[in-house]
């Protein structure tokens, strides 16, 4: 084929979904003879525009087509185009209504595109894309923004109906059909397997149909990390799988790490200067994700625990968008009343607090950082692994308890902070404070104590995984090769179609 291959990518409007998809766009566009088009709403386009502009300067052919997001028509504030901008989690249904209303626009854009798309990579949350791709005759790839382990566990839990035998939400059960013993409580898995929730089951049924109709599945993972789960998932779902990660590691230059996601809320030079003032492996970086729904009281306990640990720390607070301003304001008020910010940030200089978006990959890769307190979102987990860091795990929602299981029990590079219950949207105040400051302090101290044999072994394993991640994305590595295989598969499909 003389004509360029044209890949169209449709990221879901949440940072944990968009960031790896934009990384994948760059990974594809770095290969010769490929054009990539991203379908983005205006505000989400604005977030990643610096990345697109820089990629274009480096010779990558990445285009953007904007989608009009009908926020107000769906009962959302004007300009609310990302999950992290929701003023309340009760509006989640409205947000998905606006997402589903994008279908006619997407169909029209795809029909008009030239050259015609040879492949559509769509996030799992766009459940209508199975029908769209079939109608237009465009091969569709299903993007899973979570671990393969998570989807294998959820599949086995749902198909076995094991939760029908569990009487208490805090009772542990073994997941059937796994390649090794894996145990959870019902509370921990309900973010990905909630058969008692009718709305969730209807959505999950759509996800399964959507995946069934896809040509294949992309995971942001790598063979050395999840080989056993990738092979098992291929068997139970009968799907082609390409593991292309860690996609964050394809951002090799500091400039790429700074702009990844969206513009930083902190002066990057000042942040690096602060980090430079500390010895290697002494700083703790704490961030609980873009849609953390912890109460202000619980967040203060986290801050007090970091302070009590005696370690220098960077705390990315409220790294979400405008949707959590009320909670941020309450947290700031509590900090002033307690004197925390003055003790730690102003007078003590031992803590750097970032109110907004932090350049996480850049921070994690700094020599001074020796530990990562994380919510175990898959992107953060992969970024922590890529940086060779042991982790304190504090799962909140969705797939995060599954990822904690990998980090602590399978890879043995983490320490649990003690969270036992999924932070269900709308029930935050009812759940309240799960983890006290002393539990945070103990977990951080255990993670950062380099003198103890267990801690040294944990840190050594983390470094070994980082080396394997680096090998995966370098020339000849498993992910590098899989990217080539994926492109060649799509090229062959396009050639066959043209010959018909």
Q: Is residue 449 part of a domain?
A: yes
Per-residue confidence at 418, pLDDT binned at 50, 70, 90?
Answer: very high
154 and 292 part of one domain: no
| Joined tokens for residue 275 | 């980090």
Per-residue confidence at 479, pLDDT binned at 50, 70, 90?
Answer: very high
Q: Give the sign of the dihedral formed by CA 378, CA 383, CA 386, CA 391.
A: negative
Give CA–CA dist 389/245, Å, rounded.
Answer: 17
| pLDDT the model gives residue 206 | 85
Please give the residue that has the higher pLDDT: either 385 or 261.
385
215 and 301 part of one domain: no
- C-beta separation of 419 from 396 below 8 A: yes
482 and 409 part of one domain: no
Segment 354-363 shows an average pLDDT of: 89
Does the predicted TM-score (pTM) go above 0.85? yes
| pLDDT the model gives residue 42 | 96
349 and 477 part of one domain: no
- C-beta separation of 394 from 417 below 8 A: yes
| pLDDT the model gives residue 200 | 73
138 and 286 part of one domain: no
3-state helix, strand, coil in the chain (%, to 5): 50, 15, 35
203 and 280 part of one domain: no
341 and 356 part of one domain: yes
Structural domain count, the chain: 2
- Selection from 399, 364, 218 nearest residue 291 by Cα: 399
- C-beta separation of 280 from 367 below 8 A: yes
Q: Is residue 356 part of a domain?
A: yes
Distances (CA, A) of 278 to 111, 285, 370, 430: 55, 13, 11, 40
238 and 287 part of one domain: no
Give CA–CA dist 54/50, Å, rounded.
Answer: 6
Q: Is residue 492 part of a domain?
A: yes
320 and 239 part of one domain: no
Q: Is residue 255 part of a domain?
A: no
Q: Note the pLDDT tens digit of each residue in 270-300.
A: 899 999 999 999 999 999 987 777 888 898 8
Give CA–CA dist 365/389, Å, rounded.
Answer: 9
- Mean pLDDT over the full length of the chain: 90
Q: Note the pLDDT tens digit of each residue in 200-253.
A: 778 888 888 889 999 999 999 999 999 999 999 999 999 999 999 999 999 888
Per-residue confidence at 377, pLDDT binned at 50, 70, 90?
Answer: very high
Q: What angle do CA 368, 370, 373 make, to 5 degrees?
A: 125
Give CA–CA dist 58/53, Å, rounded.
Answer: 9
Give CA–CA dist 392/418, Å, rounded.
Answer: 10
Domain interval for residue 118: 5-250+472-498
| pLDDT the model gives residue 322 | 42
Name the helix (H) or strand (E) containing 313: strand 313-317
pLDDT score of 342 more than 90: no
Give CA–CA dist 473/221, Å, rounded.
Answer: 10
Q: Note the pLDDT tens digit of each residue in 176-215.
A: 999 999 999 998 998 787 766 777 778 888 888 889 999 9
Q: How far apart are the first and last CA of the chain?
A: 14
Q: Is residue 226 part of a domain?
A: yes
pLDDT score of 150 more than 90: yes
| pLDDT the model gives residue 451 | 65
Segment 490-496 shows an average pLDDT of: 88
pLDDT score of 500 more than 70: no
Give CA–CA dist 59/334, Å, rounded.
Answer: 49
| Joined tokens for residue 31 | 């290969």
Q: Is residue 257 part of a domain?
A: no
Q: Note the pLDDT tens digit of each residue in 423-436.
A: 877 777 888 889 99
Q: Evaluate the omega torsion of the peptide bond into residue 246 and state whether it is cis, within 30 degrees of 0.
A: yes
**Is residue 177 classed exposed, middle or buried when 0-12, 13-18 and 19+ CB atoms within 10 A define those classes?**
middle
Q: Is residue 256 part of a domain?
A: no
pLDDT score of 478 more than 70: yes
- C-beta separation of 120 from 129 below 8 A: yes
- Selection from 50, 478, 54 nearest residue 246 by Cα: 478
pLDDT score of 323 more than 50: no
Weakest-pLDDT range from 27-41, 59-73, 153-167, 308-322: 308-322
Q: Is residue 68 part of a domain?
A: yes
CATH number at residue 441: 3.40.50.2000
Name the helix (H) or strand (E) containing 492: helix 478-499
Cα 128 to chain centroid, rounded: 22
Place of tokens 């703790």: 284
Per-residue confidence at 319, pLDDT binned at 50, 70, 90?
Answer: very low
Q: What angle do CA 153, 157, 163 make, to 5 degrees?
A: 140
pLDDT score of 98 more than 50: yes
| Joined tokens for residue 425 | 């949207």
Three-state DSSP at 31 gives coil
| pLDDT the model gives residue 267 | 85
302 and 347 part of one domain: yes
- Selection from 121, 198, 185, 201 nearest residue 153 by Cα: 185
Three-state DSSP at 258 gives helix
Please give the residue that has the higher pLDDT: either 137 or 319.
137
243 and 314 part of one domain: no
152 and 283 part of one domain: no
Segment 74-88 shows an average pLDDT of: 90
Percent of the chain with pLDDT over 70: 95
């Amino acid at each position: 084929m003389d004509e360029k291959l044209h890949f169209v990518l449709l990221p879901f409007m949440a940072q944990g979904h968009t960031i790896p998809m934009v990384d994948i766009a760059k990974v594809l566009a770095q290969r010769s003879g490929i054009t990539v088009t991203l379908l983005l709403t205006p505000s989400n386009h604005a977030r990643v525009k610096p990345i697109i502009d820089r990629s274009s300067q480096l010779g990558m052919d990445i285009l953007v087509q904007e989608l009009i997001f009908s926020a107000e028509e769906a009962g959302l504030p004007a300009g609310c185009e990302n999950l992290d901008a929701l003023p309340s989690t009760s509006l989640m249904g409205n947000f998905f209504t606006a997402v589903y209303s994008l279908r006619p626009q997407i169909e029209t854009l795809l029909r008009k595109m030239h050259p015609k798309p040879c492949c559509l990579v769509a996030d799992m949350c766009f459940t209508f894309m199975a029908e769209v791709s079939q109608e237009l005759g465009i091969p569709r790839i299903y993007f899973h923004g979570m671990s393969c382990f998570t989807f294998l566990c959820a599949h086995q839990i749902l198909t076995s109906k094991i939760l029908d035998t569990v009487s208490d939400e805090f009772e542990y059960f073994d997941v059937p059909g796994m390649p090794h013993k894996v145990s959870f409580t019902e509370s921990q898995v309900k973010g990905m397997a909630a058969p008692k929730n009718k709305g969730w089951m209807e959505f999950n049924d759509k996800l399964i149909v959507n995946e069934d109709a896809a040509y294949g599945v992309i995971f942001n993972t790598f063979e050395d990390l999840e080989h056993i789960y990738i092979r098992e998932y291929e068997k139970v779902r009968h799907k082609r799988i390409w593991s292309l990660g860690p996609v964050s590691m394809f951002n090799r230059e500091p400039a790429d790490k700074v702009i990844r996601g969206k513009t930083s809320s902190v002066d990057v030079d000042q942040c690096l200067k602060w980090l430079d003032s500390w010895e290697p492996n002494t700083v703790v970086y704490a961030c609980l994700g873009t849609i953390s729904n912890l109460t202000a009281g619980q967040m203060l306990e986290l801050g007090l625990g970091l302070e009590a640990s005696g370690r220098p720390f960077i705390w990315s607070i409220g790294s979400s968008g405008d949707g959590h301003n009320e909670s941020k304001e309450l947290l700031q008020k509590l900090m002033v009343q307690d004197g925390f910010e003055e003790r730690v940030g102003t007078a003590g200089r031992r803590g750097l607090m970032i109110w907004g978006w932090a350049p996480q990959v850049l921070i994690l890769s700094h020599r001074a950082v020796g530990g990562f307190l994380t919510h175990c979102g898959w992107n953060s987990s992969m970024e922590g692994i890529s940086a060779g860091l042991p982790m304190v795990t504090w799962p909140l929602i969705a797939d995060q308890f599954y990822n904690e299981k990998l980090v602590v029990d399978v890879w043995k590079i983490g320490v649990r902070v003690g969270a036992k219950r999924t932070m269900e949207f709308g029930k935050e105040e009812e759940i309240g404070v799960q983890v006290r400051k002393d539990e945070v302090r103990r977990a951080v101290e255990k993670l950062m104590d380099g003198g103890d044999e267990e801690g040294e072994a944990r840190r050594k394993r983390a470094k070994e995984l980082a080396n394997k991640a680096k090998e995966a994305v370098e020339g000849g590595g498993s992910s590098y090769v899989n990217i080539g295989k994926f492109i060649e598969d799509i090229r062959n499909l396009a050639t066959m179609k043209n010959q018909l």
